[in-house]
Amino acid sequence: MESNKRTLIQILQVVLGVVIGALITLSVVRYREAKHLISTRYTDWRKLNLVLDMVEKNYVDTLNQEGMTDAAIVAALAKLDPHSVYLPPVQLKASEEELAGNFDGIGIQFNVPNDTAVVLEVIAGGPSEKVGLQPGDRLLKVDDKVIAGVKFPQDSMVRRIKGPSGTKVTITVKRGAEVIPFEITRGKIPVHSVDAAFMVREGVGYLRLGKFSRTTYKECHDAALSLQEQGMKHLIFDLRDNSGGYMDQALLLSNDFLSYGDTIVYLEGRHRKREVYQADGRGALLNVDLTVLISENSASASEIFAGAIQDNDRGKVVGRRSYGKGLVQEPFFFSDNSGVRLTVARYYTPSGRCIQKPYTSERDYAYDIYNRYADGEVFSADSVHLDTTDVHRTRSGRIVYGGGGIMPDVFVPIDTTHASTFFVECNRKATQMRFASAMFDKYTATLSSIADFAAMDSFLQSAKLGEQFRSWAKATDGISCSDADWTSTLPYLLPQLNALVARYSKLGDNAFYKYYLPVDNTVEEALKGL
């Protein structure tokens, strides 16, 4: 009996083993079949779609589809190039406003020299001018929010002040000893891309362009014609730190200076046939001699203009090697007000140089400007690394090199020769800016009435700002210096003080740049060549 029982158990074990083995084999086959059914081809994005669909149907927790979608887009575009980007609705709106030539707000320009915002400029015709805000007013509150003396972030301050046209905001300011609330109805505020335009000396005009916005060509064209009426024969066109903007404005501006048939730039990409842009010969500034100033922060549209002038031998380019941003972005918009700026082509100068610098290493690209300082490129032309194998020639046969950016005809290093200990300490504490604000308080009536450079020259001579600053720096910030240190610093410091104080007059940024130019070694070099 016992023997039969053992035999039965053995038979059952064998049968059970066979069944389990069959089930395992069937499971493996089905798994393999199922795995085989999920195509993992990359060429039609199927794997990405399958993963997202798998997550939606199987993930353990509730999904944030908006966040996942945005993250997936950002990650995918990051694998392309540094300038193909996804812009959520808020960022897209801010980006468009920056270049559109206007935005909604109250129409003031301010800085924050000492934890309190000070109005530098009230835009003519804007909402703030209409209610009576003035340069020198200290901003205390926006509606009920205190923003003075509390280390309030400047970007948060701007967001509170700006808002849709037609909405109201109450700005409380301190003017002298008075505290005054102003109820302001926000409106459309024009944004100017020309920072300054004036005559440097007889026959020589200076024009500084901050960005290429929708209004850039008209602004530059009108400013240049005004300078011509004042006798300008040679223009110093300052594009330093201009990060670019709309390409069509660079084309229009280049056209003003170039002769019929001159190539301005050409574009080419995998899905974009070569497009060549040429001048029509009807520009208004064909007879104006030209010097273009660039720096390591001059990019994109700035480089299109500088490259066109250099390759056509139309003028001299002075400064330091430009940024090297030569990728063409085309915008694509979505119904939720977000968008993608996708690189579709590259810019090439008339001689065939690709403006774009290499971006094979994301880290090296992101830190390129920092590396230029670390490697000494901005201090010495001998430290500039040019691709001497990528040779091109200008119209007259001069050799120029590709590899990224525009190398100027005349290199000008950053000037550090005047950086005395006293000057560095003052810069660290923004002593000059706070001094300028104090001088406006002291000379409010005089500065507010000055509208021409002759009157400003007279005021600055009588104010003796250098002597006042030395005493003020010691009393306010505890910064003092020896007579020898002061003597060596003053020639470099005084133009800066004059510029910062003169900016509070009706002359605005024109005064700032005009009085700062004597210590601008790039402008000095440009003037030497005339």
Predicted confidence (pLDDT) per residue in 16-70, tens digit: 454 445 444 444 444 444 444 555 566 678 888 888 888 999 999 998 988 888 8
Q: Are residues 234 and 273 in the same domain?
A: yes
Q: Residue 142 belongs to a domain with what CATH number?
A: 2.30.42.10
3-state DSSP call for residue 151? coil
Q: Are residues 203 and 185 in the same domain?
A: no
In sequence order, what are the residues at sequence separation of 6 or more whose Cβ sits closer than 8 angstroms to the Cβ of residue 435?
A: 468, 469, 472, 473, 476, 497, 500
325 has catalytic annotation: yes
Residue 70 lies in a domain: no
Distance CA(82)–CA(343), nearest Å, equals 9
DSSP state letter for 348: E
Q: Are residues 324 and 435 in the same domain?
A: no
Q: Which candidate, 291, 527, 529, places its Cα nearest to that of 408?
A: 291
Looking up tokens 């700026």, which residue turns up?
341
Q: Are residues 367 and 254 in the same domain?
A: yes
Per residue of the chain (530 residues), what is the pLDDT tens digit? 555 555 555 554 544 454 445 444 444 444 444 444 555 566 678 888 888 888 999 999 998 988 888 898 889 998 899 889 898 887 777 776 655 656 788 888 887 877 788 888 787 778 888 888 888 888 999 999 998 888 888 778 888 888 888 899 999 998 878 888 999 999 887 778 999 999 999 999 999 999 998 899 999 999 999 999 999 999 999 999 999 988 999 999 999 999 999 999 999 999 999 999 999 999 999 999 999 999 999 999 999 999 999 999 999 999 999 999 999 988 888 888 888 989 999 999 999 999 999 888 766 788 888 888 888 999 998 888 888 899 999 999 999 999 889 999 999 999 877 778 899 898 888 889 889 988 988 998 899 899 999 999 999 999 999 999 999 999 999 999 899 889 989 999 999 999 999 988 989 889 999 999 999 999 999 999 78
Residue 86 lies in a domain: no
pTM, two decimals, is 0.81
300 has catalytic annotation: yes
Residue 59 lies in a domain: yes
Q: Are residues 319 and 263 in the same domain?
A: yes
Question: What are the backbone dihedrals phi and psi of residue 190, each rounded to the nearest 5 degrees, phi first?
Answer: -70, 140
- pLDDT at residue 230 in the model: 97
Residue 83 lies in a domain: no
Q: Are residues 211 and 314 in the same domain?
A: yes
- pLDDT at residue 121 in the model: 79
Write the DSSP assignment of 217-274 as a string of letters: HHHHHHHHHHHHHTT-SEEEEE-TT---B-HHHHHHHHHTTSPTT-EEEEEEETTEEE
3-state DSSP call for residue 104? strand
Q: Residue 381 belongs to a domain with what CATH number?
A: 3.90.226.10
- Let me know how long the chain is: 530
| Residue among 211, 325, 357, 514 flagged as catalytic | 325
**Cβ atoms < 10 Å from Cβ of 200:** 20
Distance CA(288)–CA(297), nearest Å, equals 26
465-500 pLDDT, tens digit per residue, is: 999 999 999 999 999 989 988 998 999 999 999 999
- pLDDT at residue 2 in the model: 53
| Residue among 300, 338, 351, 437 flagged as catalytic | 300
Which residues span the domain enclosing 115? 102-190
3-state DSSP call for residue 111? strand
- pLDDT at residue 41 in the model: 63
* 393-413 exposure pattern, b = at least 16 Cβ within 10 A, e = fewer: ebeeeeebbbbbbbbbbbbbb
Q: Are residues 434 and 395 in the same domain?
A: no
Residue that finishes a domain, picked among 157, 175, 190? 190
- pLDDT at residue 29 in the model: 44
**How far, in Å, are 31, 50, 139 from residue 37 at the CA level?**
10, 12, 66
Residue 181 lies in a domain: yes
In sequence order, what are the residues at sequence separation of 6 or more whose Cβ sits closer than 8 angstroms to the Cβ of residue 332?
A: 339, 340, 341, 342
Amino acid code (one letter) for 15: V
Distance CA(488)–CA(483), nearest Å, equals 9
Residue 276 lies in a domain: yes
- pLDDT at residue 109 in the model: 82
Residue 386: burial class (beta carbons within 10 Å; 0-12, 13-18, 19+) = middle
Residue that finishes a domain, picked among 166, 190, 214? 190
Q: Are residues 339 and 484 in the same domain?
A: no
- pLDDT at residue 462 in the model: 96
Residue 199 lies in a domain: yes
Looking up tokens 């926006």, which residue turns up?
142
Q: Are residues 172 and 211 in the same domain?
A: no
Looking up tokens 């575009």, which residue turns up?
77
In sequence order, what are the residues at sequence separation of 6 or more whose Cβ sits closer than 8 angstroms to the Cβ of residue 349?
A: 265, 304, 307, 308, 310, 311, 355, 392, 406
Distance CA(248)–CA(228), nearest Å, equals 24
Contact status, residue 452 vs residue 486, Cβ threshold 8 Å: no
Q: Are residues 209 and 180 in the same domain?
A: no
Token pair for 493: 């410091």
Q: Are residues 314 and 438 in the same domain?
A: no
Give the H or E element holding residue 457: helix 453-463
Residue that finishes a domain, picked among 361, 393, 411? 411
| Residue among 195, 238, 311, 368 flagged as catalytic | 311
Number of domains in the chain: 4
Q: Are residues 324 and 241 in the same domain?
A: yes
Residue 6 lies in a domain: no
Distance CA(6)–CA(314), nearest Å, equals 106
